[in-house]
Amino acid sequence: MRTKLFLAFLFVIILAFISNIVFERLIIRDFEDFLSGTEEDSIYWIMASLEGSYRDDTWNRLKLYETLHWGLMLGLESYVVDAEENQVLSSAEVLFHMDSGMRKRMDAFLKLPSGKGEYTWYPLYVDGKEIGKVYLRPLERIGMTPLKEEIFRRRGKEFLIISFLIAGGGALILFVLFTIFLSNPIRRLTVSAERIASGDFSVHEPVRHTRVRDEIDRLAETFNYMAEALRREDALRKHLTSNIAHELRTPLTIIKGNLEAVEDGVITDSQAVISDIRTEIERIVSLVEGIEDITHAEASFFKKGIPEEINLQEFIESVASGIKEMIREKGLYLKTEGPPIVVKSYPDKLHIILKNLLANAYKFCETGGITVTWGHGKKEESGSFYVAVDDTGIGIAQEKTSVIFDRFVKSKRSTGQGLGLSIVKELTDVMGGSIEVQSEEKKGTRFTVTF
């Protein structure tokens, strides 16, 4: 990409250089045309004045003198001849009879008495009849006028060089800036993507924290999100592979052992065998359900979804009703307490969170029961709300509260896979919320999720 940027800016520099050359040539040509036009105007003025000095087949010497005098002041040496090519008057004669003060002033800006180059003649007419010719050639100018003309021509060349340096320097600076702010970030992203392709998911692309977030910043954020998702997936795959193999081995071994015992006649109580097999199958079903739940959680991480308006009271009571009968069979109570408020949330994810919190409370609660409360958060005006699940269970040791949200972490009494609370934490993070836990051993635990 840097090569393409360099070639693009090199093309811009070359184009700017060519444009400046054309522009400089046009300016100089226009200036030369201006000088040439001014000289032509002076010649036509002299010719018109000379033709006006001829009346009744006679030259008016005074008018001739004045005309050639003005011709000298305009920077033209001249002489006039009649129709027979006889010289009538020349600028040399005018100079000879010129006042010394006037001659001195003219010497200050003209190199007198002779001009430079060859004479050019122009015919003179009166009433369609040729009355003679005037021969003209330019006098060499000295002083400020030719110096200004030369300065103008030199400035044109300087303009070409300066504009080229500005265009070239500007293009070079832009190339460096584009390389720093565009090419380098994309190159780093490419290197990071190659590392991910090779199996290294620990890459993290730095994001500039400025007021204006451009496409590169959003690309880096998306890339980091993708890298984190792939890292999670890779870690989950490794953990699941290990844990599934471990968790399946025990129940399948027990089932196999019971069946072999029945076949060999070692066990004759078929009901006991069926009971043991049912228990182990339930463990396998529980494992499969845990895998499904973690799969749903990971899918939610990849797709946040669109928030919907829900009546929080109706929603929580609906989720609680699905587990209420099972809780009553254990001799526990289930209470729901809160106002009928309407909030914006992600129903599918909130359902999984509540189901896992209730299941966790049910699992570790032997007496008493479970209470679900909800309400507006501290920032009610911004739509903040909370949901809390309290239980009267065995509680959690203070030193273990920091790891209860890690995957596959479970207590010795747990028969699950250690995925429930990690799913709750990950979904809460995806929804932009937070979760807190307050617990005291042998008294109970309170989980509070706030969105």
Answer yes or no: is 20 within a domain. Answer: no
pLDDT of residue 325: 84
**Residue 363 — pLDDT band, cuts 50, 70, 90?**
confident
**Residue 372 — pLDDT band, cuts 50, 70, 90?**
very high
Same domain, 235 and 339: no
How many Å apart are CA 304 and CA 74, to the nearest integer?
Answer: 87
Same domain, 291 and 325: no
Same domain, 217 and 280: yes
**Sequence-ordered strand ranges (E) for 266-404:** 308-311, 333-337, 342-345, 369-376, 385-391
Of 378, 384, 387, 364, residue with least CA distance to 317: 387
CA 238, 242, 245, 248 torsion: positive or negative?
negative
pLDDT of residue 9: 65
Q: Decide: pTM greater than 0.85.
A: no
Same domain, 378 and 426: yes
Place of tokens 């007021």: 211
CB 324 within 8 A of CB 292: no
CB 357 within 8 A of CB 370: no
Same domain, 312 and 440: yes
From 242, 270, 303, the end of a domain falls on 303
Same domain, 244 and 360: no
pLDDT of residue 49: 92
pLDDT tens figures, 207-262: 665 555 667 777 777 877 778 777 777 776 776 676 667 667 777 888 888 788 87
Give, rounded to a whole angstrom, the gap between the first and last alpha carbons of the chain.
44
Domain containing 345 — which CATH number? Answer: 3.30.565.10
Q: Please state whether beta strands 87-90 and 76-82 pair in parallel, antiparallel, or not at all (unpaired).
A: antiparallel
pLDDT tens figures, 187-209: 777 778 888 888 777 777 676 65
Q: What is the mean pLDDT of residues 173-184?
A: 69
Same domain, 327 and 357: yes
Answer yes or no: is 107 within a domain. Answer: no
Query: Given a cut of 90, is residue 38 above it in pLDDT?
Result: no
Domain containing 240 — which CATH number? Answer: 1.10.287.130
Q: Which of 215-224, 346-355, 384-393 has the lowest mean pLDDT?
A: 215-224
Task: Give the count of beta carbons closer than 10 Å to the beta carbon of residue 281.
Answer: 13
CA 91, 96, 98, 102 torsion: positive or negative?
positive
Which ranges of 126-214 would DSSP assign to H, the alpha helix? 144-178, 184-197
From 269, 288, 303, the end of a domain falls on 303
Taking CA 128 as the corner, what is the angle to CA 126 and CA 132, rounded to the nearest 5 degrees?
Answer: 55
Answer yes or no: is 59 within a domain. Answer: no
From 284, 303, 322, the end of a domain falls on 303
Same domain, 313 and 355: yes
Provide the number of structural domains found in the chain. Answer: 2
Answer yes or no: is 161 within a domain. Answer: no
Structure tokens at 115: 């001009």
Distances (CA, A) of 148 to 31, 153, 307: 12, 9, 76
Answer yes or no: is 426 within a domain. Answer: yes
pLDDT of residue 446: 92
Answer yes or no: is 22 within a domain. Answer: no
Distances (CA, A) of 240 to 27, 232, 292, 355: 78, 12, 11, 22
How many Å apart are CA 382 and CA 63, to the nearest integer?
Answer: 98
CA 69, 71, 77, 81 torsion: positive or negative?
negative
Answer yes or no: is 129 within a domain. Answer: no
Containing domain of residue 234, as a range?
A: 212-303
Annotate 385-448 with DSSP letters as a single string: EEEEEEE-S----GGGTTTTTSTT---TT--S-S-HHHHHHHHHHHTT-EEEEEEETTTEEEEE
CA 183, 185, 190, 195 torsion: positive or negative?
positive
pLDDT of residue 186: 74
Same domain, 379 and 441: yes
Structure tokens at 214: 């451009």
Same domain, 445 and 349: yes
Query: Given a cut of 60, is residue 110 above it in pLDDT?
Result: yes
Structure tokens at 352: 């999984």
Same domain, 341 and 439: yes
In the chain, what percentage of residues exceed pLDDT 90? 16
Q: Which of 28-32, 62-66, 298-302, 324-328 has the lowest mean pLDDT?
A: 298-302
Same domain, 412 and 370: yes
Answer yes or no: is 389 within a domain. Answer: yes
